[in-house]
C-alpha cells in the first residue's frame, strides 16, 4: 500500500510540474480575465447536447487554474501559506480526466466565443500535459500513443500494410505511386485511417499529381501523419513522432511536406512541430487543400462535369479554427459543386463532429460522442443535403458512424477524392 | 460616530487619507498583477507564420465585444443584460458631472458630461440590470455551477458604489456629508479589492483578447 501511495504522490508531483511548465503570459491573462459568464458552455457541444454544467469549457481548465493561482500570483501564494488555497489532488485529476478527454475534442469553438477573449481550448490542451504526466490519460489513447511510438502508427500499422495498399492501387489503376524517391519536391504524409479505411485518398493524390505534373513521393520511414502525442497531450511523444517526419523529409531532401486530410495532423506537423523540436524546419508544410487550391489557381487541375447533388462541407476544427484553412475548400468546391450550401454555422464557427482530439480513439467515450452528434445531425437536417464533403479522415469516420447511428442515409466523402473524380482523363 | 467627531470629519477622512491609501493599493496592486502576467512571457514560435500578430491582436480587442449570432441566439439574456449593465456603469462613472470634476481635479483630464436626469436614469437601469444578473447567476445551471464566493463579493462591491451614489444624490440619508462619505468609501473598497479579484478583467481582457487575436492571426485564422 505504502509503495502504491508513494508512486501516486510521485506521479501527482510530476503532473503538477508538467502543469507549471505550461503556464505562460497568455494563460495568466486568460485566467485573470474569466468572469464566469458561462458563455463558453453555449459554444461547446458537450454542454449544449447534454445540459451538464460540468462540461463548461472553462471548468475543464480548473487544475491548471489552481496551479497558476497558487504558484504564479502573489495573492494565491498568500492563500496557499494561509491554507486557504484549493490544491490539485490525485482525486481531483481522476474526476477531471473524463471531462478533459471524453468531453473535449479540442475543437476550439469556446475560444472563438469567449467575450474576454480567452483561448480556452489551448488551456485544456495544456491540462492534458498534466494528465499524462500524472498517469491520468484514458486507456484508448495510451494504447494508441504506445503503438505510434513502438510500431510507427496509432493503429498499429507497419509500412508493409501501406505497401500492400500501394500494390493494389497500382494494379487497379495503372498509376505509379512513388516511394522513397530522393530529391522529389513533395513528401506526402498519410493517416492510418486513410491507409486502412480510405485508400481512395492515395489514389486521388496519384491522379491529381500526375495531371499537375508534381514531383512527389511517399516515405517508407515517415508515412504516418497522425500524432497521438498531440491528442493525448504529451509533448515528449509528440516530439518523437514529429522528429520521424522531419528525419524522413530530410533524408529524401524534399522541399515540401504535405499534411493529409486530417485535422490534428496538420496542427501537429504545421504549427506545433517546429516548437516541439525547437527549431524551424528545412522544408515547408502545406495542407493538401492548400496545395490543391494553389494548383487550381494556377490552372494545373483541370476538371470536367459538375456534381448535381446538394452537398455541404464539414470544416474539420483543426483546419479552420486552429489552422486557418477556410477559403481553400470553398474555392475547390466552387469548381465542381454548383449546389454547394453552407450549414447555418460554418467555417470558423462550424460545430465539431464530436470525435476530434482523440475522443474517437477512446472507447469509453463512444456513448457520449454519439449523443453529442445530435448537433451535427440537426445542422445537416436543417439544410437537407444529400452528401457531406470533409477533409479529415477522422471527421469522415465519425460522421459516417453518427449518421448511421441516426439512420441517416447520407454519404461522406473526402474533398481530395471528390476533386480527383472530376479530373479530365488524359 | 466615535472615531470621527461628526460627519464632516468622516468625509474629510474618506476624501483624504483613505482615498490616498485606496488609490495606492489599487495602482501598486494592478502593477504587480500586470507584471506577474507579462513577465511569464511566451515561448519563441518556430513555426512559419502565415499572418501577422499585432494587427489581428488589436482587431480582436475591438471585435470580441460583438458576440457571434449563434451564441447570441443561445444565450441572449446574458449578452443583453451584460451589455446594459456594463454600458450603464460606465455612463454613471464617466459622464456624471461631479465625477468628471473629480477626475479633472485628480488627473487634469476633462470631457463633457450628461445631464443629471439621464445619469440618474442610467444608474437606476444599471442597478436593476445588476440585480437581474445576480438572479441569473443564482439560478442558471452553468453560472450557478461556476460561481464562487468571489463572484458574489465582486458583484456586491460593484453594486455598492451605485447604490450609495444613488442614495447620496437623492439625499435619502442625512446628513449629506455622511451619505457622500459612505459612497466614496464604497468606491475605495472597490479600488482596494480590484487587483486581487476578477475585477482585474477590466484591464486584463485587453491582454487576453490581444493574445488570442495574435495567436490566431499568426496562423491566418479570422478571429
Does the pLDDT of residue B1 top 50, yes or no? Answer: no
- Judged by CB atoms within 8 Å, which residues 313-332 of A form the interface with B? 320-324, 326
Cell numbers found for residue A126: 495544456
Range A153-297 classified under CATH 3.10.50: no
Chain B environment of A270 (Cβ under 8 Å): 47
The per-residue pLDDT for B174 is 86
Q: Taking the CA atoms of A151, A154, A160 and A163 in sequence, report the sign of the dihedral they define.
A: negative
> Does pLDDT of A357 surpass 60?
yes
Of the residues A41, A110, A115, A352, the best mutation for testing chain B's interface (the one with the most B CB atoms within 10 Å of its CB) is A115
Judge whether residue A414 has pLDDT over 70: yes
H or E element: which one contains B46? none
Q: Do domains A153-297 and A311-421 have the same CATH topology?
A: yes
Does residue A2 have a pLDDT over 60? no
Which band of pLDDT confidence, cut at 50, 70 and 90, is reported for residue A6? confident
Chain B CB contacts of A273 under 8 Å are 47
Say how many Å lie between the first and final Cα of chain A, rounded.
72
- Best CATH choice for the domain A311-421 from the list 2.130.10, 3.30.70, 3.40.50, 1.10.10: 3.40.50
Q: Which band of pLDDT confidence, cut at 50, 70 and 90, is reported for residue B2?
A: low
> Which chain A residues are Cβ-neighbours of B143 within 8 angstroms?
36-38
Distance (Å, whole) CA B169 – CA B181: 12
**Cell numbers that stand for A43 in this block:** 459554444
Structural domain boundaries of chain A?
A: 2-136, 153-297, 311-421
What is the pLDDT, as a whole number, of residue A9? 86
Rounded Cα distance between A415 and A403, Å, is 18
Indicate the CATH number for domain A2-136. Answer: 1.10.1060
Q: What are phi and psi of A224, to 5 degrees?
A: -85, 120
Beta-carbon pairs below 8 A across chains A and B: 173
Average pLDDT score over residue span A75-103: 96
Chain A: closest CA distance from residue B217 (Å): 9
**Residue A156 CA, distance from chain mean position:** 19
Nearest to B142 among A53, A113, A280 (CB): A53
Task: Report, as an integer, the average pLDDT of A15-31.
Answer: 98
**Mean pLDDT along residues B26-53:** 97
pLDDT tens readout for residues A249-288:
999 999 999 999 999 999 999 999 999 999 999 999 999 9
Mean pLDDT of A395-407: 97
Report pLDDT for A7.
81
Reported ipTM: the value is 0.96
Alpha-carbon gap, residue A66 to A84, rounded angstroms: 12
A2 vs A344, residue with greater confidence: A344
Calpha distance A115→B203 (Å, rounded): 14
Q: Write out pLDDT tens, residues A311-339.
A: 999 999 999 999 999 999 999 999 999 99
Contact map slice: A 181-200 vs B, CB within 8 A: none
CA separation for the pair A139, B164 (Å, rounded):
58
Residue with cell 523529409: A249
Question: What's the whole-number mean pLDDT along residues A4-29?
Answer: 93
Pick the residue of B38, B42, B47 with the most A CBs within 10 A to test the interface with A by mutation: B47
Say what the pLDDT of residue A62 is. Answer: 98
Name the residue ranges covered by the structural domains of chain B. 7-40+48-219
What's the average model confidence in pLDDT over A68-80?
95
Of residues A33, A75, A270, nearest to B208 (C-beta): A33
Quick check: bond before A381 cis, omega within 30? no
Q: What pLDDT does residue A426 have?
A: 67
pLDDT at A1: 46
Q: What is the mean pLDDT of residues B42-53?
A: 96
List CB contacts (< 8 A) between A99 and chain B: none
* Minimum-distance CB partner of B36 among A28, A270, A285: A28
What does CATH list as the number for B7-40+48-219? 1.20.950
Q: Which residues of B touch A28 (CB under 8 A)?
A: 36-37, 40
- In the predicted model, what is the mean pLDDT of chain A? 96
* Percent of chain B topping pLDDT 70: 98
Amino acid at each position: 500500500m505504502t509503495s502504491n501511495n508513494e508512486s501516486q504522490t510521485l506521479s501527482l508531483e510530476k503532473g503538477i510540474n508538467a502543469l507549471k511548465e505550461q503556464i505562460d503570459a497568455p494563460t495568466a491573462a486568460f485566467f485573470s480575465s474569466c468572469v464566469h459568464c458561462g458563455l463558453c458552455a453555449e459554444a461547446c457541444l458537450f454542454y449544449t447536447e447534454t445540459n451538464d454544467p460540468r462540461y463548461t469549457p472553462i471548468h475543464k481548465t480548473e487544475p491548471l487554474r489552481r496551479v497558476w493561482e497558487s504558484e504564479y500570483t502573489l495573492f494565491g501564494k498568500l492563500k496557499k501559506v494561509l491554507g486557504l488555497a484549493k490544491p490539485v489532488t490525485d482525486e481531483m485529476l481522476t474526476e477531471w480526466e473524463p471531462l478533459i478527454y471524453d468531453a473535449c475534442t479540442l475543437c476550439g469553438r469556446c475560444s472563438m466565443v469567449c467575450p474576454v477573449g480567452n483561448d480556452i481550448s489551448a488551456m485544456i490542451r495544456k491540462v492534458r500535459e498534466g494528465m499524462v504526466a500524472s498517469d491520468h490519460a484514458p486507456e484508448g489513447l495510451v494504447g494508441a500513443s504506445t503503438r505510434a511510438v513502438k510500431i510507427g502508427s496509432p493503429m498499429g500499422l507497419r509500412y508493409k500494410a501501406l505497401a500492400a495498399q500501394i500494390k493494389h492501387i497500382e494494379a487497379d489503376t495503372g498509376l505509379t505511386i512513388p516511394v522513397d524517391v530522393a530529391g522529389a519536391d513533395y513528401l506526402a504524409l498519410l493517416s492510418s485511417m486513410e491507409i486502412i479505411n480510405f485508400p481512395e485518398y492515395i489514389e486521388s493524390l496519384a491522379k491529381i499529381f500526375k495531371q499537375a505534373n508534381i514531383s512527389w513521393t511517399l516515405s517508407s520511414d515517415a508515412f504516418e501523419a497522425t500524432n497521438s502525442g498531440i491528442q493525448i497531450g504529451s509533448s515528449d511523444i509528440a516530439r518523437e513522432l514529429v522528429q520521424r517526419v522531419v528525419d524522413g523529409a530530410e533524408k529524401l531532401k524534399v522541399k515540401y511536406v504535405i499534411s493529409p486530410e486530417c485535422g490534428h495532423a496538420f496542427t501537429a506537423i504545421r504549427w506545433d512541430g517546429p516548437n516541439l523540436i525547437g527549431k524551424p524546419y528545412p522544408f515547408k508544410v502545406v495542407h493538401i487543400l492548400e496545395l490543391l487550391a494553389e494548383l487550381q489557381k494556377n490552372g494545373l487541375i483541370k476538371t470536367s462535369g459538375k456534381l448535381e447533388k446538394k452537398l455541404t462541407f464539414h470544416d474539420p476544427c483543426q483546419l479552420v479554427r486552429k489552422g486557418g484553412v477556410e477559403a481553400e475548400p470553398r474555392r475547390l468546391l466552387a469548381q465542381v459543386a454548383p449546389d454547394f450550401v453552407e450549414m447555418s454555422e460554418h467555417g470558423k464557427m462550424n460545430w465539431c463532429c464530436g470525435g476530434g482530439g482523440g475522443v474517437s480513439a477512446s472507447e469509453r467515450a463512444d456513448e457520449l460522442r454519439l449523443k453529442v452528434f445530435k448537433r451535427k445531425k440537426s445542422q445537416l437536417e436543417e439544410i437537407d443535403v444529400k452528401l457531406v464533403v470533409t477533409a479529415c479522415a477522422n471527421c469522415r469516420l465519425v460522421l459516417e458512424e453518427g449518421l448511421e447511428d441516426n439512420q441517416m442515409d447520407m454519404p461522406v466523402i473526402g474533398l481530395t477524392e471528390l476533386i480527383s473524380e472530376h479530373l479530365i482523363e488524359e | 460616530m466615535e472615531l470621527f467627531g461628526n460627519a464632516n470629519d468622516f468625509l474629510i477622512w474618506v476624501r483624504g487619507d483613505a482615498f490616498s491609501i485606496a488609490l495606492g493599493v489599487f495602482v501598486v496592486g494592478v502593477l504587480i498583477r500586470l507584471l506577474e502576467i507579462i513577465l511569464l512571457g511566451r515561448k519563441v514560435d518556430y513555426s512559419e507564420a502565415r499572418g501577422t500578430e499585432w494587427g489581428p491582436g488589436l482587431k480582436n480587442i475591438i471585435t470580441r465585444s460583438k458576440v457571434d449570432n449563434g451564441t447570441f441566439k443561445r444565450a441572449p439574456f446574458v449578452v443583453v443584460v451584460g451589455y446594459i449593465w456594463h454600458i450603464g456603469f460606465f455612463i454613471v462613472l464617466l459622464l456624471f458631472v461631479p465625477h468628471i470634476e473629480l477626475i479633472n481635479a485628480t488627473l487634469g483630464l476633462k470631457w463633457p458630461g450628461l445631464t443629471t436626469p439621464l445619469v440618474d436614469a442610467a444608474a437606476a437601469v444599471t442597478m436593476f440590470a445588476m440585480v437581474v444578473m445576480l438572479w441569473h447567476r443564482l439560478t442558471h445551471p452553468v453560472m450557478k455551477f461556476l460561481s464562487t464566493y468571489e463572484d458574489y463579493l465582486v458583484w456586491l462591491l460593484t453594486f455598492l458604489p451605485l447604490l450609495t451614489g444613488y442614495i447620496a444624490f437623492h439625499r435619502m440619508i442625512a446628513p449629506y456629508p455622511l451619505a457622500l462619505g459612505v459612497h466614496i468609501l464604497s468606491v475605495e473598497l472597490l479600488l482596494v479589492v480590484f487587483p486581487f479579484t476578477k475585477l482585474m478583467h477590466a484591464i486584463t481582457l485587453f491582454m487576453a483578447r490581444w493574445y488570442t487575436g495574435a495567436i490566431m492571426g499568426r496562423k491566418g485564422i479570422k478571429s
